[in-house]
Amino acid sequence: MSGERAPCLKHPAVIDPVCRVNPAEYAGKKDLGECISITSGGTLAFGDADVLSFVHEHGTRCYIVNLNQVTRNAKRLLESFRTYPSKLHPLYAIKANSTRAIVDRIVREGFGFEVTNIHEFLFSLEVQENTGLGKKSSAIVCNGVSKHHVQRPYRESLIEVAFRHQSKEGFDVLVNLSSVEEVRFAIKVAERMGGGIRVGLRLNPAIKPKTAEDLATGAGYSRFGVPIDQLENVVKELVDKKDLTKLVQLHCHIGSQISSIETLTGIHGEKAADGRGVLPVLCSKITELEKKFGVHVEQINIGGGIAIRYVKTKPRDMNEYGEFWPDYTVEEYASKIATTLERIHEEKGSNCPELCIEPGRWLTANSTGLLLLVTDVFDLHGEYKKSLKGAGKWIITDGSAMTDAHDIVLLRQWFEILNASRITKPLETLYNIGGLACDSGDVFAWGRDRTGPRMLPETRKGDILMVLDVGAYQQALASNYNMLPIAAAYDTRGSEITREKKNPSSR
């Protein structure tokens, strides 16, 4: 099969190259299509499963999960940080995907948990007990907002439950306090428990990375974290009650799918850190707190946000698609984080702090595909073709973007889509691709926004489409809109696996 990209002759001016990438160009390649391959018989494989044979056995409108890819991702990330000169604390953001089989794989590689509410916290305790690694085997860091508020059906807040597990039961649990209200509540709880509670502070650094607006959690107007200009006042409240709490961590998570490493390092090209990145901000604040209050902060937590390449070739229009094409690999991410911290602390004449990371998306996204059946194909009137970037045809599927891949609707997020039934055929026709929900916004790809259209082989009713990289947030956000049942999930061997039905929170 030719690996050359099929030309788009009719509408070259309006169709970005990302809309028409031949699967042969990225199948089997790291950071692009590691889970997929094209067999010698000309069929599409996902991990060790032949996709068409899998569909024959299990049907469509379902997720297929390659658990071995989850393990590979976890190992690769840890290996990338192997040379970091201080202690690394890897934590999995379970909001990305709480499917028990996936979480188990990540925890077994040495990851702890990043949780945002009491439901996720208790789930993490269950995982620790059930993995056989020991009840107190993994660290838990609690982030999110309203941690001082009691959530039904429980009678205690997350802060109270977490503090009790830390002080009375010896768990490795840390709460990153996110507001003045949480700090004051935490001091009262610590006093009730006899003091000596280890806490962290989440900082809002007023840094907006290049990502979707809804995923930017560290922008100055975001609700997450203590505003940077209030940090010293908050620390003073903790210092005044230093027998009750000990500040051990500064946390800063600026968002998900961070496409440029510069927003973390503050280093632009060969220049030194200029103070505008997450690392320079955290390190400078730690220095200031030690000088002003005598507080020694042991750890910095840079949150998550490691991005994946949802598009499979470098976009022509980086303003439109750049957030789906990060400018780094995970190895480069780890190297630049380590190098930046070493440079900052060499200048200060001190050792690098312990480092916490909280990846979610990068660990799970490429492990999962969504399988759909084409139920209808039809033409549009020619007058509408121009407004749809030249796509004069609709494909209708048995799935729903609104229920099965919600970020397409919510964020206009790009996911690569393949015709698994014609994987070796040339790309020749532009399509809009819709779902079965009774809502005009239920589209997987269309020419009215950046999700489409898509150039596929000539597609017919009965063909099988595969949506790639849906293993982060899409199952967590799944709904039963229109009374549709939640789509089933199977591993590549055909065993059904289910997700925990937790309410997802900020990413």
**Are the CB atoms for 423 and 466 separated by under 8 Å?**
no
Predicted pLDDT at 20: 94
Q: For residue 94, which amino acid is it?
A: I
Q: Three-state DSSP class for 28?
A: coil
Rounded Cα distance, 154 and 169, in Å? 19
The contacts of residue 431 (CB under 8 Å, 6+ apart) are 377, 391, 393, 394, 395, 445, 452, 453, 454, 455, 456, 459
Looking at residue 275, what is its pLDDT? 56
Q: At 362, is the secondary structure helix, strand, or coil?
A: helix
Instruction: Please give the Cα distance from 252 to 376 (Å, whole number).
Output: 47
What are the pLDDT digits (tens) for 428-468? 999 999 999 999 899 999 999 999 999 999 999 999 999 99
| End-to-end alpha carbon distance in the chain | 40
pLDDT tens-digit series, residues 225-273: 898 999 999 999 999 998 999 999 999 998 899 999 999 998 755 545 4
Residue 308, Ramachandran bin (φ over 0: left; ψ between -120 and 50: alpha; else beta):
beta
Tokens of 90: 């890897």
pLDDT beneath 50, residues of the chain: 1-13, 271, 273-274, 502-507
Q: Is 166 left (phi over 0), alpha (psi -120 to 50) or beta?
A: alpha
* Among 210, 274, 285, CA closest to 252: 285
Q: What is the set of domains in the chain, with CATH numbers?
A: 17-66+366-497 (2.40.37.10), 69-75+88-205+212-256+279-308+354-364 (3.20.20.10)
Q: What are phi and psi of 32, to 5 degrees?
A: -130, -65
pLDDT at 131: 84
pLDDT at position 387: 87
Residue partners of 56: CB distance under 8 A and separation at least 6: none
Helices 118-130 and 100-108 sit at what angle, rounded to 10 degrees? 70
pLDDT value of position 273: 45
Alpha-helical regions (H) of 294-360: 318-321, 330-348
* DSSP state letter for 462: T
